[in-house]
Amino acid sequence: MSLKKIRAKDGVACGRRFFGLDKLCKFSGLLVVLGGCFFPGTAVIAQLPLEADNTLNNPSQVVPFSPIDFGIVGGDRRGSNLFHSFREFNVSEGGSVYFGTDAGVANILTRVTGGNGSQIRGVLGVVGSNANLFLLNPNGILLGPNAQLDLRGSFLASTAEGFLFANRDNFSASNPQPPGLLSVSAPIGLQYGDRPGNITSYATFLAVDSGRSLVLAGGAVRLDGSSLAFQFPNGGRLELGSVSGAGVLPLRVQGHNLALRPPATGLERGRITMTNGSTLDARAQTQGAIALYGGNINILEGSALLSALTPGSALPDLRGGNITINATGTVRVVGPDTRIVADVQAGARGDAGDITIVAQNLNVLEGVQLNTNMYGAGSAGTVQLIGGDRIRIDNSTVSSQLMDGAVGQGGNVGIAANRLWVVNGAALSSSSFGTGDGGAVQVLVGDRTVIDNSSLNSEVSGNAQGDGGDVSIATGSLRVLNNAQLSATTFSQGDAGDVLIQARDNVLFDQAFAFSRVNRAGVGEGGNVAIVSGSVTVLNGSQLIADSQGRGNAGNVFIQARDRVLFQGTSPNGQLASAAFTDVDPEGVGHSGNIGILANTLELRDRASLTASNASTGDAGSVILGVSDRILLDNAALASELESTGRGQGGNVVIGTGDLTLRNESRVLAQTRGMGNAGNVIIDAENLHVLEGSQVIAQSEGMGNAGFILINARGNVVFDGASADGSFASAAFTRIGETAVGQGGGVFISAESLRVTGGGQLIADTLGTGDAGAVFLQIRGPVQFDGASPNGQLLSGAFTSVAEGANGNGGNVAIQAGSLTLQNGGRLVADTESDGNAGNVIIETQGPLRVIGTNPISGNSSAIFSEGFGNAGGNGGNVIISADSLDIRDGGALAVRAFGSGNAGNIIATVGYLTLTGGNISAESLGTGRGGQIAIAADHLVLDDESTISTQTNSTNGGNIALAVDRALVLRRGSLISTEAGRAEGSGNGGDIFIDADFVVGIPQENSDIVANAFEGSGGNIAIATQGIFGLEYRPELTELSDITASSRFGLDGTVVVDTPGIDPVQGLVALPSGVVDASDQIGQVCPTGPAAAERLGRFVVTGRGGLPPSPLDPLESDEVEAGWVSQDEVRDRPSMPTPEPHSTQPTPAITEAESWVRDAQGNIYLVAGAALGLPSLAERGGTCPQVH
């Protein structure tokens, strides 16, 4: 070796520090020409050892230039590989070590075989070629604060024991041998021993040339205030690898591209730590990548991994480098200034790199930023966090963003783990602020996901033009807590994404939110919020929202659960109720979405609600529930509303379930308050219970029609009770509100049975402009209207009405039922208080109809009414009844009334048995209108205990009463049939009474009357067609006896005409004996009587006629043998009948009361008065009976 000295004044920097590579330093074989290598005035600095070990065929040679500056020559050459071996290898502080090569060397492989680690505190370089430099010391490597690299190739420092080659050669530091003759290719792996040494870097700026790789692969690798980079402008690779046990770490060498390829298994990994502001900086005009491979990896205290595509390159289709962290243990990224960022900077063109972290456990804590951002033109990268077990993101941000001014696509944020916590203000987001779509936020978790006071969001905002991505979570269970948010929104031009949740077990929202929204500045479609899970629980003011505050349609909210869905409670301050809603704000334009829930059970409690509404131009959505078992609303609401500022159509509330229960003032509502029709409420259930002031409502408070309430129940329907303060009935009602203009809907119920009790009500009314709807009940079994609210103010019933000041007609109350009972104040009412006509009450029952009693609190009677109230100009409606039997008792009433200028309606009843016991049937005009008519057709008609059938008017003609009774009309104990006119001393004529009955029966002393009276007008006419009248007598005026009168106080008296075929009415009416015959005395007493006989022989009760034996001992014979009662040959027209013509007077035999009956030889039956006719008496035909003692 030759050394040429230079004068001190000629001393210049060689390499970057001391050598002029092109002029001063030349290595040719073993001859070194070092020009200008004189070191004037060099201070004495502590020298670290540098010593070759002579283990090579051509040993490495150390050429000193100063006490701390050295050149390395010699070494074994194998193809393009140059091998060096040292006992000690260090670079002193402020010093330098340069390897000399020629242009044919591609890789310099250096091993340290001694027992000490290597310290690189100065410059480590290569001259003579662009070779890669490999430094291997199993005992450890330290890079000091001033460590630098001066080379044109890549650099790898490792604490492995040897380099592994493709031919299985191993250039080993633990078993140092010369390299094999076939070691001519690049190494393919690093062979580690049991306890690899550590690599620690304090280097403030350790860099390789652009496009090169810098790799540290040791046992534990630590960067403390250290920065690894490559020279600008082109990219390269920065890699850290840690191995804690014996094995091979695969290595890829392709030119200057060095990369670790750790296996997924079979190699135990060690710890990597970056702390104290350490950085891996791969920002460049072309791709710069970062990779960390270890067991546990810690990135702490403001440390950063930076990859960016910077402006300046003219190359097309560039891509920023990826940042990869791969750990078999735990990765911790901690600290407020700690960052992992992959960007494309403003002015650059190309896609940003991805950030990928794979670990068993991952903790991102205390303000960390994990971002991939697009500021230029291209797509933002993807952030992928993959945890074998657990990921925790705490008060940190993980995002992919297309920034303001950028053009391209936002990237995705993806998380996969077994368990995930996103807590304490953490955020996972994918956003677009530029021109292009935002990415998605995707979470895939096997077991449990917790989002606590944190957010997952996808956003289109600022000046963006593009669609937002979805926020999707697939997990075992999900807990969203403490003001946490899952959101997909647009503030700009583009559609919002969806919020999609799929949980195997359960989903819990507790004071938390999930929403997809078009915000006020947004133009685009809102996304959906969809949840599929085993169960879904929404508590304490949590809300699921799909809304639009801008120009675009709101999305839908959809929940599907195998088991239960629960919404319950309000926020701690009481301002927010747990809810799901879709909405379009007044500032927005568009249709609101639907709310759909499929579940086994659904519960809404404590002010919870499901609402689809629209306050702008567009339709409201529908609420659609399909729940297989049961739905409970407890102080809760289901609603579809067109708000007061809305212009569109209301949506429907559709419920299909097993049992539906509403309690504690719950509401099911389809309403319009704007310009458009309300939707309908449609319920299909096994059973329906509406309790404690809860209500089912379809109404219009604006410019539009009210909807319909359609209830179909396979079992029972119950409306019971009122609100706690007694102000709200448990009800179903359809209404035209006070300021509304539109047509009323209707309440339609089909069920097995219906009970409306304790103040429950079914209502169809109008308070504004438009006709009221109808109440129609089709019940296969019993219907019951019973009682009132506890305060007596709300009567149970079905009502249609036209309120005072309203403009419209009332609807009908129509009932088809097996049976119908009104008791304790229960009512059916169709009324009007305005100029519109009241509706009709139409009842058809297969069984009995009962109207019984009064309410014990308020005294209101059980009743069926059609009325015109107050000063109403409208007409009252009709009451039309068809029933097997009608029983009105104890203050019960059936009435049509008019109190104003309108006419009263009519009562038309077709029944089997009609019984009034302390009840009344009336048609009244108490104003100036015409009185109503009463027409009744019945098999039997009994009035008892001061019952009445009456028509009354104040000043107009009285209404008529027509009674067609197949058998007997009976009046008892002060009962009354009356048509009366002029109650207010008016001039109206009395109404007519038409009676067609087999018999008309009264008791003379009981003061039961048939009356057709007037005040100033003429008295009405009374026409009776009958076989006989018993106990009532015509008199010119009423007496204390049972009377038939047709009189006028100041006008002409009416007429009384009785048509009794075959009987001369001139002979007068036959009075029955005042003493009632004991029927038991009419049975042939051929057997002993008395207490002993009763105990031994029992008793026999006879009812009806025909086919009866003369005594209990005779055989029962066919009822084809009848007593010869006479019937009219022609069937009477019921209920109307002609006025009978008076008969001429013909003498007739006196009627003699029958005392017994006999049968002749031909089998004919005769009623006889004893044995006077010469026929055998009953006693003669009696049998014998054993003596009873």
Instruction: Render pLDDT for 371-415 as a digit per residue (tens, 0 to 9).
Output: 998 888 888 889 999 999 999 999 999 999 888 888 888 899 999
Nearest of 704, 702, 832, 825 to residue 764 by alpha carbon:
832
CA gap 29, 405 in Å, rounded: 57
pLDDT of residue 2: 30
At residue 948, the 3 state secondary structure works out as: strand
CA 650 to centroid of chain Cα atoms: 18
At residue 499, the 3 state secondary structure works out as: strand
39 close to 66: Cβ distance less than 8 angstroms: yes
CA angle 889, 966, 924 (to 5 degrees): 45
Residue type, 735: R
21 close to 127: Cβ distance less than 8 angstroms: yes
CA gap 302, 233 in Å, rounded: 25
Question: What are the tokens at 139?
Answer: 């005992």
pLDDT of residue 294: 95
The strand pair at 863-868 and 827-832 is best described as parallel
pLDDT tens readout for residues 512-531 = 999 998 888 888 899 999 99
E strands, 287-350, in order: 289-294, 296-299, 304-309, 323-327, 330-334, 339-344
pLDDT of residue 1134: 41
How many helices (H) and strands (E) would you count in the chain?
A: 1, 93
| Contacts with 1062 (C-beta within 8 Å, 6 or more apart), sequence order | 1148
Q: How many other CB atoms are there within 10 angstroms of residue 13's CB atom?
A: 11
pLDDT of residue 733: 93
CA gap 1005, 674 in Å, rounded: 66
End-to-end CA distance of the chain: 160
pLDDT of residue 28: 36
600 close to 627: Cβ distance less than 8 angstroms: yes
CA gap 782, 817 in Å, rounded: 6
876 close to 896: Cβ distance less than 8 angstroms: yes
CA gap 1074, 146 in Å, rounded: 135
Provide the 8-state DSSP code for 209: -
Question: What are the tokens at 435?
Answer: 């021109």
Rounded alpha-carbon distances, angstroms, from residue 391 to 362, 452, 655: 5, 14, 41
Length of the chain: 1189
Provide the 8-state DSSP code for 875: P
User: Which residues lie across from 970 on neighbouring strands?
Assistant: 942, 1001
| Contacts with 198 (C-beta within 8 Å, 6 or more apart), sequence order | 140, 141, 159, 218, 219, 220, 221, 222
Question: What are the tokens at 63?
Answer: 């050429």
Q: Where are the domains of the chain?
A: 652-905
Question: What are the tokens at 131?
Answer: 């070779």
Which stretches of the chain drop beneath a pLDDT of 70?
Answer: 1-46, 181-183, 232, 313-317, 872, 955-956, 982-988, 1015, 1017, 1049-1051, 1062-1189
Phi, then psi, of 10 in degrees rounded to 5 = -95, 0
The strand pair at 383-394 and 1009-1013 is best described as unpaired
CA gap 639, 612 in Å, rounded: 6
CA 1047 to centroid of chain Cα atoms: 70
Stretch (H or E) spanning 471: strand 471-481
At residue 1133, the 3 state secondary structure works out as: coil
CA angle 891, 895, 896 (to 5 degrees): 160
Q: Is the previous residue joined to 1135 through a cis bond, with omega within 30 degrees of 0?
A: yes
User: Which residues lie across from 1152 on neighbouring strands?
Assistant: none
| Contacts with 739 (C-beta within 8 Å, 6 or more apart), sequence order | 701, 702, 768
Query: What b/e sequence results for 551-579 when a residue is b if at least 16 CB atoms lie within 10 Å of its CB, and e otherwise?
Result: bbbbbbbbbbbeebbbbbbbeeeeebbbb
At residue 9, the 3 state secondary structure works out as: helix
